[in-house]
Amino acid sequence: MYKIAPSILSANFAKLGEEVDNVLAAGADIVHFDVMDNHYVPNLTIGPLVCEALRKHGVTAPIDAHLMVKPVDRIIPDFAKAGATYITFHPEASEHIDRTIGLIRESGCKPGLVFNPATPLEVLEYTLPKLDMVLLMSVNPGFGGQKFIPFVLDKARKVRKMIVAGGYNCRLEIDGGVGPANIKEVAEAGVDTFVAGSAIFNAGKGGDPHRYDTVIAALRAELAKVGR
């Protein structure tokens, strides 16, 4: 089943709780939570305190914590305590990938690996059976509002084949430059979980959260055409 995961990176941080309530009410499935450290990526965002604040605010939807931080292990238990559902990390950010996956699982969260556009998929040979999520970056990480990189569609097809071949229960997510104009093509490449930041939140800029309904409905309408 397809899931839409708005990236709160493009939300209005001055009223984040309300923004998250509004996108969820508009039909979003998962809250995509971008964590940047000004070291692994050249930008700085939010951490476990904000994740916990969203839970305290009453958000019950899955929170997909995308950790663009290095090192990664130290902060994992904090995100687990803060109420993250998925915790995904970049293999380049961990010296011991298998250990980090285990740490996420032991902390009670669902582990995922994130691949930058030019990062090869080799480590999946040994890790895929243990993962609940593979996240393919379709932009270089660090910023919202960038242009979709088309060669990532080939990677998506490869990962989908691996998931099917092994019969794994693992979501395939894409992150970066996704919107109503390309979501169908992305789904046809085997992706089932779609991060969209600027495509969703920019639609609501100007203060009308009802525009979130319109853009999420447009994304779903495109998904409904897949395979036809």
Catalytic residues, by residue number, are 34, 175
Closest CA to 62 of 82, 83, 28, 85: 85
Shortest distance, position 129 Cβ to ligand DX5, whole Å: 25
| Residue 155 contacts which entry, Zn ion, ligand DX5, none (Cβ below 5-8 A, type-dependent) | none
Determine if 90 is a binding residue for Zn ion (CB under 5 A): no
| Residue 183 contacts which entry, Zn ion, ligand DX5, none (Cβ below 5-8 A, type-dependent) | none
- Cα-Cα end-to-end distance for the chain: 16
Closest CA to 51 of 94, 6, 17: 17
Closest CA to 32 of 46, 43, 44, 18: 46
Contact residue for Zn ion among 19, 37, 64, 175 (CB under 5 A):
175
Shortest distance, position 139 Cβ to ligand DX5, whole Å: 6
In the bound state with Zn ion, the residue whose beta carbon lies nearer, of 139 and 215, is 139
Tell me the two tokens of residue 178. 């996704």
Tell me the two tokens of residue 152. 């990532």
| C-alpha–C-alpha distance, residues 171 and 174, integer Å | 10
In the bound state with ligand DX5, the residue whose beta carbon lies nearer, of 66 and 155, is 66
Torsion of CA 223, 84, 109, 106, to 10 degrees: 170
In the bound state with Zn ion, the residue whose beta carbon lies nearer, of 66 and 211, is 66
Kindly report the backbone phi and psi dihedral angles of residue 160, in degrees, each rounded to the nearest multiple of 5, phi listed first: -60, -45
| C-alpha–C-alpha distance, residues 25 and 57, integer Å | 15
Binding site for ligand DX5 (CB under 6 A): 7, 9-10, 32, 34, 66, 139, 141-142, 144-146, 175-178, 195-199
**Interface positions, 5-44, toward Zn ion (CB under 5 A):** 34
| Residue 46 contacts which entry, Zn ion, ligand DX5, none (Cβ below 5-8 A, type-dependent) | none
| Residue 171 contacts which entry, ligand DX5, Zn ion, none (Cβ below 5-8 A, type-dependent) | none
Task: Give contact residues for Zn ion (rule: CB under 5 A).
Answer: 34, 66, 175
